[in-house]
Amino acid sequence: MIETAHWKLDIEVKPADWRFPAGVTWLAGWLWSPQDRLATDLRCWIDGRCFLANWGLPKPGLDEVYLKHPGPPYLGFTLLLEPHAGATLLRLEVRDQTNQWMEIFRTAITVAADAPGCPPPKPLPDLLPLLLNPLLRLHSQHPAVPLATLADQVVSGAVAEPRNALPSPPFFGALEAPRDLGWVRYGRLSITGWLAHRQHRVTRLTAIVDPLQEGALLYGLPRTDVTGEFADLPGRETSAFVGHVDLPADSPVPALLKIFAHLDNGEKHLVFAQRFTPRVIAGAEAPLPVRSMRTFVRAAWALRQSAQRHGLPLGAWGALRQPLRTAWAAYAAEAPAPAGHVSLATETGGTTDPARSLRVLVVTHNLNFEGAPWFIFELARHLASQPGTTVRVLAPQDGPMRRVFTDSGMAVDIIEVGPAMRSKTPEEFNASLAPATAAIHWAETDLVIANTMVSFWAIHAARQAGKPSLLYVHESSPVRRFFEMDYAPGLFPVIEDAFRLATRVVFTADSSRRVFQHLGDRGNFCLLPSWVDAGRIDAFAAAHQAADLRRKHGLDPAAVLVVNIGSVCERKGQHVFIRAVELLKTELGVLYPGQKIQFVMVGARPGLFLEILQEEITRLGLEGLAIFAPETGEIFDYYQLADIFVCTSFEESFPRVLLESAVFRRLIVSTNVNGIAEMIGPDEAWLIPPGDRYRLAEALKLALAAYFAGDRTRPEKARATVLRKYHEARSLPRHAGLARAAAQNRL
Per-residue pLDDT tens for 665-712?
999 999 998 889 889 999 999 999 888 889 999 999 999 999 999 999
Bridge-based pairing of strands 188-197 and 54-57 is unpaired
Percent of residues, the chain, with pLDDT higher than 70 = 98
User: Are residues 205 and 194 in contact, defined by beta-carbon separation less than 8 angstroms?
Assistant: no
Which sign, positive or negative, has the C-alpha torsion 110, 115, 120, 121?
negative
Query: Per residue in 322-352, pLDDT tens?
Result: 999 999 988 887 787 675 555 677 777 666 7
What is the three-class DSSP state of 440?
A: coil
Phi, psi for 182 (deg, rounded to 5): -120, 125
- What lies within 8 Å, CB to CB, of 281 at 6+ separation is 183, 184, 185, 481, 484, 485
**Which residue type does 301 have?**
W
For residue 126, count CB atoms less than 10 angstroms from its CB and return exposed for 0-12, middle for 13-18, buried for 19 or more: middle
What's the pLDDT at 546? 96
CA–CA dist 475, 455 (Å, integer): 12
Q: How confident is the model at residue 288 (pLDDT cuts 50, 70, 90)?
A: confident
pLDDT of residue 724: 93
Q: Do domains 2-111 and 122-335 have the same CATH topology?
A: yes
Domain ranges of the chain: 2-111, 122-335, 358-531+731-743, 543-726
pLDDT of residue 286: 73
Q: Which of 215, 213, 209, 233 minimizes the C-alpha distance to 223?
A: 233
Smallest Cα–Cα separation from 243: which of 255, 226, 227, 260? 260
Q: What pTM did the predictor assign?
A: 0.73
Question: Could you give the CA distance from residue 476 to residue 482 in angstroms, rounded to a whole number?
Answer: 9
Rounded alpha-carbon distances, angstroms, from residue 455 to 97, 437, 473: 43, 13, 9
Query: In degrees rounded to 5, what are phi and psi of residue 314?
Result: -85, -30
Q: Which residues touch 208 (CB under 8 Å, ≥6 apart)?
A: 56, 72, 214, 215, 245, 257, 258, 260
- What is the DSSP secondary structure assignment for residue 288, as one 8-state letter? P
CATH number of 2-111: 2.60.40
pLDDT at residue 17, as a whole number = 95
What are 376-413's pLDDT values in tens digits? 999 999 999 999 999 999 999 999 999 999 999 999 99
Average pLDDT, the chain: 92
Mean of pLDDT values over 478-483: 85
Q: What is the pLDDT of residue 188?
A: 86
Looking at residue 519, the DSSP 8-state letter turns out to be G
CATH code for the domain defined by 543-726: 3.40.50.2000
Average pLDDT for residues 716-732, to the nearest whole number?
94
Assign 146 a pLDDT band (cuts: 50, 70, 90): very high
d(CA 62, CA 76) in angstroms, rounded, equals 9
Instruction: Report pLDDT digits (tens) over 636-654.
Output: 999 999 999 999 998 888 8
Could you please state the CATH topology (level 3) that the domain comprising 358-531+731-743 is classified under. Rossmann fold (3.40.50)
Pick the CATH number of 122-335 from 3.40.50.1820, 2.60.40.650, 1.10.274.10, 2.60.40.1230: 2.60.40.650
Contact 124, 303 (CB under 8 A): yes
- DSSP codes of every residue in 396-408: SS--THHHHHHHT
R_g (Cα) of the chain, nearest Å: 29
